[in-house]
Amino acid sequence: MENIIFNDELDGFCNKYIFKGGLGEKTPHLFDLEHERISRNICEQLLRHDGVAIKVNGTNAPLAILINLFGERNLEELLEQNAIQFILWTPMVTTLASDNFPDGLLPLQFGNLSKDAVYGDPEKSIDEGFKILTRPIPRKQRRNLTRKLLKSYRLPSEEISSNAVTFGHDGYKNNKFSPLGFANTKEITKLNASERRTLLKFTNESLELAVISEMKLNTINNYNLMRLNELEFENLTKSKTIQDYQNKLFQLEQVPNFSEMIKLGMLDIESIPKVRSTKNAIKFRKWINNIADGDEDVEISKQYIESISNNKSKLDTTTGKITRSLVVTAVSGTVGTALAGPVGSLIGGGIGAFVINPALDFSIDMLDTFVLDGVLKGWNPKHYFDNDIKKIIQN
Return the SS3 of 54. strand
The phi and psi torsions of 360 (rounded to 5 degrees) equal -100, 130
Given its phi and psi angles, is residue 235 left (phi above 0), alpha (psi -120 to 50 degrees) or beta? Answer: alpha
* Cα-only R_g, the chain: 27
* Helix (H) or strand (E) segment spanning residue 239: helix 238-252
Return the SS3 of 88. strand
Tens digit of each residue's pLDDT, the chain (395 residues): 789 999 999 999 998 888 866 666 667 888 889 999 999 999 999 999 999 999 999 999 999 999 999 999 999 999 999 999 999 999 999 998 877 777 788 999 999 998 888 999 999 999 999 999 989 999 999 999 999 999 999 999 999 999 999 999 999 999 999 999 999 999 999 999 999 999 999 999 999 999 999 999 999 888 898 888 766 677 788 888 899 999 999 999 999 999 999 989 999 999 999 999 999 999 999 999 999 887 666 789 999 998 888 765 444 555 555 444 544 444 444 433 333 433 333 333 333 333 434 443 444 444 444 444 444 457 999 999 999 999 999 87
pLDDT at 30: 86
- β-bridge partners, 53: 6, 85
- β-bridge partners, 88: 56
Closest C-alpha to 389, from 290, 252, 294, 297: 252
The phi and psi torsions of 305 (rounded to 5 degrees) equal -65, -40
Q: Where are the alpha helices (DSSP H) in 20-105?
A: 23-26, 28-48, 61-70, 72-80
- Separation between Cα atoms, residue 135 and residue 81, nearest integer Å: 26
- Separation between Cα atoms, residue 259 and residue 57, nearest integer Å: 27
DSSP string spanning 89-110?
--EEEE---SS-PPTT--S-EE
The phi and psi torsions of 111 (rounded to 5 degrees) equal 180, 180
The torsion angle over the Cα atoms of residues 309, 312, 318 and 324, rounded to 10 degrees, is: -120
Count of other CB atoms within 10 angstroms of residue 99:
9
- CA 90, 91, 92 angle in degrees (round to 5)? 115
Per the CB < 8 A criterion, the answer to whether 218 and 170 are in contact is no
- Separation between Cα atoms, residue 282 and residue 50, nearest integer Å: 8
Which pTM was predicted? 0.80
Closest C-alpha to 39, from 220, 217, 269: 269
Per the CB < 8 A criterion, the answer to whether 67 and 75 are in contact is yes
Q: Could you tell me the strand order of the sheet in which 51-56 lies?
A: 4-7, 51-56, 84-88, 153-154
